[in-house]
Structure 1
């Protein structure tokens, strides 16, 4: 018997009955998989920018935002299923979680937040909700307004890591623009205030797991770091200092826009995306334990055996993180199916800290060390926005031009420009910038 109700399966715009052999959540998953917004993630930054040359001689292809989302979906589907969630529902949330991310990943998010200061700011999670409920064209309400993909209430709720507006945010993370508050209110009807649903917590931890493990793998393959450095005590201390600053302090200051997972580790509701707090010594101890695991390689040289060892490392770490969360949660709630607001995901402190250290490695060796390039990307986004605003609506694609012309005030018109820029890929943002700066109107 399903633990989900007709209330959970409701859609903002009612639809006629469809094929009986597909559940509502299977249809949700298909809609996201077939969306243009998801396809565009193939050309948006994860660790390296799409189109960046592969490391010499490497048979690997570095991940994009799309491949990260697919891997997150695989992790989340299995973890959610093991805990009693509908696997299609959790997979839909995982596929959707980054669908609103702009060009250049979190770096572009920082720049667009500056551009959008007069229309409520920019946040990738809030943009994802906007894409799902408004910008991705598929369905319309009786009043003629777009309802985006018209996903079920449960699917949209599961995709919301931070179900609150900027005014209520702590540590800067939020998932709802003021413009989209009405739709979010429908999604969150009868939900506990400030608390993500169980499926969203599973998605959030799956995102952290996939991000921390796979970004480390890509950084090693790309030559940004090597295993010898990771074993060096002085280098380990620098990495752990970065991890504490970005992911394990009471008020993290994360230049990449990423924060510690919103899931909790102490039996309390997952509220306000609070990070786990730790000091450098505790993180060093956790990572030293990881280095001692038999599956941790001591080198990477691009050989077949080294590639196999690296893949074994990633699968072992994912298993370590997911099994720990499953066992801890089951210990608290027993074997019954867990869904919606019947439970909270419990992730042991040890695994949360290990995940933070892995993210700290990538942050220290990739993001911080490449700040000059990242600064150029932010400058490009802001220059592009300036030119687009000056030339609007002629600088906008038809769908965003329509929104610009229908807006009733300057904030609404600026939001249409921001939506346009957020929809671009890394390569199309560069091309559009080049065309506008050289005097053209479009790329």
Structure 2
């Protein structure tokens, strides 16, 4: 099937005019919807700009052609808007959620997050999704009357629960925020939030294969047996037997994105027909996700992830670099905790006269906001030796 263009808004979409509003009430005039305003505020935030120098898989010094956390985010936005348009959902809300989904990531990708979580184990732990909420509700200080970006309820909800309902112990930032705002943590999120989540998976699957090929971690023939990917490779070879490698690789990614988007659209429409939700809140109250892959494509997507995990994310070259990067995060955290005078002046003032746990949380905020190159510069300033990331 071909995915059509913009569709009429479905009954189970989110409607900006029906938003549950903001923590601090504001006028929503000026020709922009509440959700468009949310997306724009995120784009203009300093946390969003810093994503340009945060690792996706390969550190920035590896080369200019690999994805950064920012370029990955923009690719997620593109997929999310395409899905939202085809399904008749609110594109601005889907974009806002795609833009914000990685704001809380610390430097050095998941290695930095793992180490920071260990460092914070005695103080409530660290979770990048929860940190994204903390960024937009507390850490971005741009307005005279409130901290944070004062985003809509629906955007806060989607940041917190785009992967599904939250059960069990809550991450620290979410637990604290829940005292101020009820985000229905027990329910599924809006269809737009679910679109943002599955768009993240699509972008990861397609572009990590591309970056892994570019880095020489594996070759085309090594994943030609994967479901979906193998069929696409065979089709391209039949149609363009003499195509050069660069174009061939790009064509694989293009066809994968198309196939995955078309599958999500068809499967989501099928589920919506069966469940017949009449509003966004009815989507929230369903027993499972409304947006998803078909069974066949879900199996193919799992196979792609199963291939990438050992061959890319746990490749010795990547692991060596990420282990060294983890040392940088660990060293910085302990140094700042032991000697707050090592912090920049504005951050030093923010930890004065705080409990140990509150001081640790502010230090985690500082480290999580650092780019890869800033963290390395801080390490070089504070220590005699810097771990080699090559």
- Into which bin does the TM-score normalised by the smaller protein fall? 0.7 to 0.9
Residue in 2 that maps onto 1:13? 24
Structure 1 residues 34 and 356, CA gap change in structure 2 (3 angstroms):
same
CA spacing shift, 1:95–1:289, aligned 2, 3 Å: closer
Kindly indicate whether residue 40 of structure 2 is the aligned counterpart of residue 36 of structure 1: no
Partner of 1:414: 360
Distance 1:193 1:289, change over 3 A: closer
**Other-structure match for 1:204:** 197
With over 3 angstroms needed to count, the CA separation of the structure-2 counterparts of 1:179 and 1:398, relative to structure 1, is farther
1:13-92 to 2 correspondence within 5 Å?
13-19=24-30, 21-53=31-63, 61-92=65-96
Distance 1:122 1:366 in 2: 24
Could you say what secondary structure the match of 1:212 adopts?
helix
1:402-441 superposed matches below 5 A: 402-405=349-352, 407=354, 409-438=355-384
Say which of 227, 246, 266 aligns to 2:220. 227
TM-score by length of 1: 0.74
The alpha-carbon deviation at position 293 of structure 1 amounts to 3.1
- Give the distance between the partners of 2:62 and 2:185, measured in 1 at CA: 44
Q: Which residue of 2 aligns with 1:218?
A: 211
Cα distance, 1:292 vs. partner? Answer: 2.6
- Taking the aligned partners of 1:338 and 1:48, their CA distance within structure 2 comes to 44
Contact 2:51 / 2:69 at 8 angstroms: preserved in 1?
Answer: yes
Contact 2:165 2:187 in 1 (8 A): yes
Mapped to 2, the partners of 1:406 and 1:90 lie a distance apart of 41
Match of 2:261 among 322, 325, 328: 322
Deviations 1:37-86 (A, max 9, x none): 011111111121112136xxxxxx11100000000001001101221211
1:286-365 paired onto structure 2 within 5 Å: 287-288=226-227, 290-293=229-232, 305-334=244-273, 340-343=280-283, 344-365=290-311
Structure with the higher helix share, 1 or 2: 2
C-alpha contact (below 8 Å) 2:165/2:189 kept by paired residues: no
Residues 294 and 422 of structure 1: CA distance in aligned 2, closer, same or farther (over 3 Å) = closer
**Any idea what SS the aligned residue of 1:159 has?**
helix
Q: How does 1:142-291 map to 2 (within 5 A)?
A: 146=147, 148-160=148-160, 161-162=162-163, 167-168=168-169, 176-183=173-180, 185-186=181-182, 188=183, 191=184, 193-231=186-224, 287-288=226-227, 290-291=229-230
How many aligned positions are there?
A: 360
Cα distance in 1 between the residues matched to 2:193 and 2:52: 23
Structure 2 alignment gaps of length 5 or more: 1-8, 284-289, 386-390
CA separation in 1, counterparts of 2:58 and 2:278? 37
In the alignment, the residues of structure 2 paired with residue 425 and residue 17 of structure 1 have an alpha-carbon distance, to the nearest angstrom, of 33
Higher mean Cα deviation, 359-368 or 418-427? 359-368
Alpha-carbon spacing, 1:140–1:196, altered in 2? closer, same or farther (3 Å): farther
In the other structure, the counterpart of 1:380 is: 328
> Structure 1 residues 34, 410: closer, same or farther in 2, change over 3 A?
same
Q: Deviations over 1:336-378 (max 9, x none)?
A: 9986333321321221222222223332222212322222221
SS at match of 2:60: coil
Measured on the aligned residues, the alpha-carbon RMSD in Å equals 2.7
Distance apart, 1:93 and its partner CA = 0.2
Give the whole-Å Cα distance in 1 for the aligned partners of 2:89 and 2:208. 27
Do 2:228 and 2:300's aligned partners in 1 also have CA atoms closer than 8 Å? no
* TM-score, normalisation: structure 2: 0.84
Distance in 1 separating the partners of 2:278 and 2:158: 13
Q: Is the 8 A contact 1:159 1:203 kept in 2?
A: no
Unaligned runs of 5+ in 1: 55-60, 237-286
Q: Which residue is 2:5 aligned to? A: none
User: Which of 113, 119, 127 is matched with 1:115 structurally?
Assistant: 119
1:17 CA displacement: 4.8
Tell me the residue number matched to 1:105.
109
Does 128-137 or 45-54 show the bigger shift? 45-54
